[in-house]
Copies of this chain bind each other. A is one copy, B any other.
Amino acid sequence: MIFEGGENIGDKKLDVFIYDTTLRDGSQGEGISLSVNDKLKIAKRLDLLGVSYIEGGWPGSNPKDRAFFLEAKEIDFQNARIAAFGSTRKPDTPVTQDSNVKSFMDLGVSAVTLVGKSWDFHVSKALETTLEENLSMIKDTVMYLKDNDIEVIFDAEHFFDGYKNNTDYAIEVLKAAADTGADWIVLCDTNGGTMPWELEEIIDQVQKTIYTPLGIHVHNDAGCAVSNTLLAVRKGITQVQGTMNGYGERCGNADLCAVMPNIELKMNKSCLPEGNLKYLSETSHYISEIANMPHHNTQPFVGKGAFAHKGGIHVSAILKDSLTYEHINPEDVGNNRRVLVSELSGLSNLLYKAKELNIDVNSYDNETRKVIKQIKELENEGFQFEGADASLELFLRKAFSQYEEFFQLKNLKIILEKNEEDGIIAEAMIKVTVGDQTFHTAAEGDGPVNALDNSLRKALTEVYPEISEMHLTDYKVRVLNSKSGTAAKVRVLIESANQKEKWSTVGVSENIIEASWQALVDSINYLLLKRRQN
C-alpha cells in the first residue's frame, strides 16, 4: 500500500514526501544554535521551497521550541505541515500524565513525530525498562494521539541496529505502532553506521510484514547517508527525513540538498512542487546564513564549487561542451558554473574569465603569459582569487591597462585604547587625495576595521556619493601559515553589497589591518568601476 497522503498536504501530489528536521535534529549539530526567530525564518523558507513536513522541535523539552510552535500556528504555510517531535510516554506513567504528550495537546499540533526505541539494548540500557513495557509505551501513545485526530509519524529509533541485534523484537516494535494506527513508520539509522547492502536487505524484510507507509531517517557517520536514503526510495519508501545542508548530531543527517535533486533529476520522481528545485541553492545558502554556519564549497549540487572547474583540461573541455565535466545542468538546482583562475589553470581559464569580463586578450602574446605568471606569484603569496571575483577583475583590468585609481591614500592612523574592564575604543584618522583635492577625516568604530571603513567612506562620499549605498556583508579572516600564530600571514575576504549586487575582495598581509585595508579599498574601487561602466 502506498500512502495517498498528497491530497491533504497542500494540493500537491508527490511521489516522495520530504520531511525536514533541520530545526530539531539539525540544531543538534555542533556549532548550531537557532533562536525562535531564526526557526520561524527557516520554516517559512522551507515552506516556500515546498517540503511536505517541517519538524519544528521538541516542545516538551525546552521553552524555545514551545515558543516556536505557538508562533508557527499563526502562519499560513502553503506546502508544509508542521510536526512536533517527542518520545513515547515514560515508563510506568499513564499517557495522560506524560509531560511530552501533554505538551502536544496543549499546543494543539496536528502532526506528531513520536520516537520509540526499537533496539532491545537501548530499552534496557538507556530507558531502563522491560521490552514489554516499551511496547506498551508505544501502543498507548500512538493510540492516544490517534484518538485525538493527530497524524502520527512513528520514528523507530536505531531500527537497523535493533534489527541486526534482535530481529523479532525490532519487528514487534514496528507492529506495535502499525497496529495502533500510526500513519507512517520511519526506519531510523540513528547511529549512521549501516552499510547500503544491509539497509536494502533489511527494508526488503520489513516490507514483507509491515503495510503502513514507510519513511527513512539516516545519519552520515559512515559517509553513506545520501545513498542509503536514495536506495530506500528505490525500494519504494515514500517519506524521506533529512536536514538542509546535512546538519545534525555528530556527522549530520542525510543532506536534503543532495537527496532532493537526486530524487528529481536522477530517479525522475517528484518530491517538491513542480519547478521549485531551482530554488534549492538559494535556500541552502539562506539557511546556512541564518544558522551562521559556513557553506561548504564542495557540497554536492549547491556548493559554490559544485560546478567550479580548475584543472586545465577540464576547462578546455567545458569551453567546448559543459556536459563533458558536469553531471547535471547547474541551473536545474539554481547553481552556476564557475571557472577558477589559479596556478593549476592554464591559458583556457584566463581566457574564459577575460571573455566574461569583456577584456580583449590575445592568447598568444607575452603580456597574457606575464599576467598568468603574476597570478601564480600572487597566489603563492597567499592571495586566493578563486573566492574574490571583484579583486580578480580589478587585477586583470590593471594588468591589461584598463583601470585608473579612484583615490590615493596619503596617511592613516588607528588608535585603540582599553582601560581595566572597559571595552576597547577604536578611532581612525585618514588622509586621501582624489585628483588635487585632499580629504582628511577621522571616525570611530566598533573595531579597527570598522573605524577604518567609517573614516574612508567619510573621506570619499563627498566626491563619490554612491559609496553610501554599499555596505559590507561579510568579513572573513584566514590564517595562512598557522605555525607562527598571530605573526602569521592572514588573508581577509570581504563581501560587499548594494541593492543589486554582491562582490568579494581579498587582501593578504602579516598585518590583519593591512590585509583588511587592501580588501576594503578593492571593494570600494569595484563599486566605483561598475558605476562608471553602466
Q: A246-B298, A303-B251 are in contact. Are A446 and B487 (CB under 8 A)?
A: yes
Which residues on the B side are within 8 Å of A310 (C-beta)?
28-30, 249
- Render A74-116 as a binary contact track against B, CB cut-off 8 A, 1 for contact: 0000000000000100000000000000000000000000000
Interface of chain A, main secondary structure: mixed
- Render A26-55 as a binary contact track against B, CB cut-off 8 A, 1 for contact: 011111010100000000000000000000
Q: Is the CB of A482 within 8 A of B474?
A: yes
Interface residues of A in 291-327 (CB under 8 A from B): 292, 294, 296-301, 303, 305-314, 316-317, 320-321, 323-327
In Å, the complex CA distance between A226 and B262 comes to 16
- Render A501-513 as a binary contact track against B, CB cut-off 8 A, 1 for contact: 0000000011111
A488 within 8 Å of B (CB atoms): yes
Shortest Cβ distance from residue A196 to the other chain B in the assembled complex, whole angstroms: 5
Which residues on the B side are within 8 Å of A122 (C-beta)?
317, 324
A529 within 8 Å of B (CB atoms): no
Shortest Cβ distance from residue A39 to the other chain B in the assembled complex, whole angstroms: 13
Partner of A196, one of B28, B230, B308, B474: B230
Chain A, interface size category, equals 35 or more
A485 within 8 Å of B (CB atoms): yes
Q: Is the CB of A326 within 8 A of B191?
A: yes
A227 within 8 Å of B (CB atoms): yes
A472 within 8 Å of B (CB atoms): yes
Q: Is the CB of B327 within 8 A of A453?
A: no
A344 within 8 Å of B (CB atoms): yes
Q: Is the CB of A473 within 8 A of B448?
A: no
Which residues on the B side are within 8 Å of A61 (C-beta)?
312
Which of the segments A8-16, A179-187, A419-427 contacts the partner chain?
A419-427
State the number of copies, please: 2
Q: Which residue of B lies closest to A252 (CB)?
A: B298
Partner of A424, one of B325, B423, B511: B511
Which residues on the B side are within 8 Å of A27 (C-beta)?
344
Partner of A231, one of B193, B197, B478: B197
Interface residues of A in 151-176 (CB under 8 A from B): none
Q: List 14 A-B contacts (CB under 8 A).
A: A28-B311, A28-B344, A30-B340, A31-B297, A33-B344, A33-B379, A125-B324, A249-B311, A411-B419, A414-B416, A415-B416, A418-B517, A424-B514, A477-B477
Q: Which residues of A contact B (CB under 8 A)?
A: 27-31, 33, 35, 61-62, 87, 121-122, 125-126, 190-193, 195-197, 220-224, 226-228, 230-231, 234, 246, 249-252, 255, 258-259, 262, 266-267, 289, 292, 294, 296-301, 303, 305-314, 316-317, 320-321, 323-328, 340, 342-344, 379-380, 384, 386-387, 408-420, 423-424, 426, 445-450, 452-453, 471-488, 490, 494-496, 509-514, 516-517
Known A-B contacts: A121-B324, A445-B487, A449-B512. Give 20 more (CB < 8 A): A29-B305, A30-B305, A33-B380, A121-B321, A122-B317, A193-B266, A195-B267, A223-B255, A223-B262, A249-B325, A250-B307, A251-B299, A409-B420, A410-B419, A412-B417, A415-B415, A446-B511, A447-B486, A450-B486, A475-B482
